[in-house]
Amino acid sequence: MLPATPNILLGEPFIELATIDSTNIYAMDLVHKGLALSGSCIRAQFQSQGKGQHGRNWESSAGLNLLCSYILALKQLNPVKIWSPSDQMAFSAAIALGVRSFFEAFAGGKTKIKKPNDIYWGDRKAGGILIENVLRGQAWTWSVVGIGINIHQMEFSQDAGQPISLKQITGETYQLGVLQKALSLHLNNAIMEWLSLGDLPTLEKWEAESVIIKK
């Protein structure tokens, strides 16, 4: 079991950008240049090259959705542990659980995970997660967690699959800054739960909250 830690701060410092190629590209550049601060959240109003799983682009109209990346130094979770790639699966599961919990808080109980870490409401995609990790030798040192969640977008391109936004579900309008803080809180809680309970319970919960989506 991984040791619990009383303080995990995700969301500060906060950097907001108008237009960027990709928040993950921006965040990874900070890491590689030695300028990254653990806990940082980079949010963009628009991404020209938003990154999805398997090299796909993430479609999002400007100013309508949550497009962000969090930077985490693994030493902030446990400064004495040597983190390795074997720890990444449970971490990814914890992140997916945190995003699912966030979306469910606004959209309700039809929120599920499509493995490994897409967020679905019913049979329609509401969000996605792209985690990119940095290794130094055999040690896992940094993680950049990119998250895109459809909030206010009402129209999508025909080749976007079957997306859905929070506004389409609830009919409500939201303040993105308020949602960002809520997302940070849910992610923080999910990571703390993983550290407290360990890998196996986290993966079991991830399995329980996952669903097979038939195309």
pLDDT in tens, 75-88: 999 999 999 999 99
Q: Is pLDDT at 91 greater than 50 in this prediction? A: yes
The C-alpha angle 199, 204, 205, rounded to 5 degrees, equals: 100
Which residues touch 105 (CB under 8 Å, ≥6 apart)? 182, 186
Nearest-angstrom CA–CA distance, 144 and 132: 5
pTM for this entry: 0.91
Cα separation values, 42 from 16, 36, 172, Å: 6, 11, 25
Beta strands in the chain (DSSP E): 14-20, 41-47, 66-73, 111-114, 118-121, 124-136, 139-149
Give residue-wise pLDDT tens across range 104-134.
999 998 999 999 999 999 999 999 999 999 9
Hey, which of 5-14, 31-40, 148-157 has the most confident mean pLDDT?
Answer: 31-40
What is the structure's pLDDT at 54?
Answer: 44
d(CA 138, CA 178): 38
Q: Where are the domains of the chain?
A: 14-208
The encoded tokens of residue 183 equal: 């997302």
Q: Please choose, from the candidates 66, 62, 52, the residue with its C-alpha nearest in 3D space to the C-alpha of residue 19.
A: 62
For domain 14-208, the CATH architecture is: 2-Layer Sandwich (3.30)
